[in-house]
Structure 1
Amino acid sequence: MSFIKFIFIFWLLISSSLCAQTLDTIKSPDTLSVTKKVQELKFNPKQLIIPGALIGFGLIGINSDQIKDFNSEISEEVVEHIDKQITIDDFTQYVPAVSVYALGAFGVKGKNNFKDKSIILATSFLIMTVTVTGLKSITKVERPDGTSNNSFPSGHTATAFMGAEFLYQEYKDVSIWYGVSGYAIATFTGAFRMYNNRHWLTDVAAGAGIGILSAKAGYWLFPTVNKLFASKSNPNRKSAFIPYYDGKQVGFGYVSSF
């Protein structure tokens, strides 16, 4: 299978997830109305199918000789056609999540206000980081370029797909194309991780699943987490998480006004 064919199939898989979610929203009696919007994403077992399949494929691939051979074939084909590495994936991984704040700054209203969506993003990021870091330390899969043993899963891909799902959930009621564009950027982020010979197919697939699931979990947990930041003694108190990137690390800062 050529690298281009893989990208096409991977994108079709992710697109099917978007279509399924959109149809669910249209058919559901809990569909958001124009006058009243719910702030949390309610849990539905169907939401586990796509991310679960991606994570499962990645985990099975760790010990499957057949999938390992498939990984190697893709890696060899990619390396064969590489003239030079393009590190654009170091930046595109953040584009979907940052887009949520950029759209808000330009006056395009999403589902949640700044504080609520920041809490959701911070929760999602924490879940994703703990999961990715934990799996990397447990599995110790060697990278295709042989530089280290922390290949599985792809953190860049997880970050990108977490942001894509976050963008989709915040703006799907404005236009489905916001979500499509976010998932397109996330898909190419994963593709470039393989193009740069930094990850196997299974790393990217698992990273995508973890990212999507982490974002969904951020919405599921929002009502509970939000209570931690509510202040009964000072109703005028405002607080928010602010994402940052210093060129090497990504994180979140907490700001509160009294």
Structure 2
Amino acid sequence: MKSKETFNFRIILIMLLLCAASGVSAADSLSCDVQRRCTFDDGHRLRAVDIVVPAALVGVSALYIENGWMVRQKRAVRYALLPKDRRKMHADDYVQYSPVVAVYGLNLAGVRGRHSFKDRTIMLAMSYATMGIIVNTMKLAISERRPDVSTRNSFPSGHTATAFMGAQFLYEEYKSVSPLIAWSGFVVAPLTAYLRVYNDRHWINDVVAGACIGIVSTKLAYRLYPLLFRKSSCRRSTALAALPYYDGRSVGVSMNMTF
């Protein structure tokens, strides 16, 4: 009987030593927890197509600056969208911000989005910074003349980039809450793009490029945020628990994984 108890004790001791040797902490209850491993939720994933397609559209839009046939096409679009009795409208100066305002307004009204105030505000700032750097760098480098010949910073459209950046921001925050709310930003953002052409401030290729840059800027910010801020709530952890057992006849390990 004494030899059997000694054997049982040795089995349990060996299992505890195995847990410790594999980097697992052992508790008095014989439970062993591995270190938690952090991953990202689905809202922070970025696929290659999310970058390649918009980049390709921006590249094609840039061809409309110098290519003879394409220049004629964008001028034809301009003439089609400019009525003779046109009066300039300044709504685009304000509508561009409406998707972003909607996110914070909905949260104040009790319709909570995907992230906390702190997380979404930092991601919004990152989106603005990314969009601003890309847009202004391209404006200075390309120097396309505006259709009203006022300045040479037409390509790409900053107003349109801001509007679509906000639309993507609204989508990311509410796609898991309400599809209707999530997609509403993409109804308002094209209005900004249209008004920029209508007001003779941009060509059609300018607003197409601006829309792509705005969307990509937000996607990049949502992907980079959990990488840069490792303590943010955007990261989720995975833990593995192991419980060794011995019933007198057999030895085994019971495992449980939590997310």
TM-score by length of 1: 0.71
CA distance 1:133–1:229, change in 2 (3 Å): farther
* Structure with greater proportional helix content: 1
Give unpaired runs (5+ residues) of structure 1.
1-36, 231-258
Structure possessing the higher radius of gyration over alpha carbons: 2
SS of equivalent to 2:135: helix
Q: How many residues are matched? A: 194
Q: Distance in 1 between matches of 2:80 and 2:90?
A: 19
- Runs of 4 or more, structure 1, over 4 Å off, are 227-230
1:193 aligns with 2:177: no
Aligned to 1:137: 140
Measured after TM superposition, the shift of residue 82 of structure 1 is 4.4
Deviations 1:74-98 (A, max 9, x none): 1122233442011100000000111
| Secondary structure, aligned partner of 2:65 | helix
- Structure 1 match to 2:60: 57
Aligned to 1:73: 76
The 5-angstrom pairing of residues 33-112 of structure 1 reads: 38=41, 40-112=43-115
Partners of 1:116 and 1:128 in 2: how far apart? 18
1:208 aligns with 2:211: yes
Greater strand proportion: 2
Secondary structure, aligned partner of 2:64 = helix
Deviations 1:19-74 (CA, angstroms, capped at 9, x unpaired): xxxxxxxxxxxxxxxxxx93851111122254234312212222222221111111
Alignment of 1:1-258 (within 5 A): 38=41, 40-227=43-230
Cα gap change, 1:71/1:82 in structure 2, threshold over 3 Å: closer, same or farther? farther
Distance of 1:221 and 1:179 partners within structure 2: 21
Residue identity opposite 2:71 in structure 1: K
1:216-237: CA deviation from partner (whole Å, max 9, x where unpaired): 001011113325999xxxxxxx
Q: CA RMSD in A?
A: 2.0
What TM-score do the two structures reach when normalised by structure 2?
0.71
Higher mean displacement: 159-168 or 51-60: 51-60
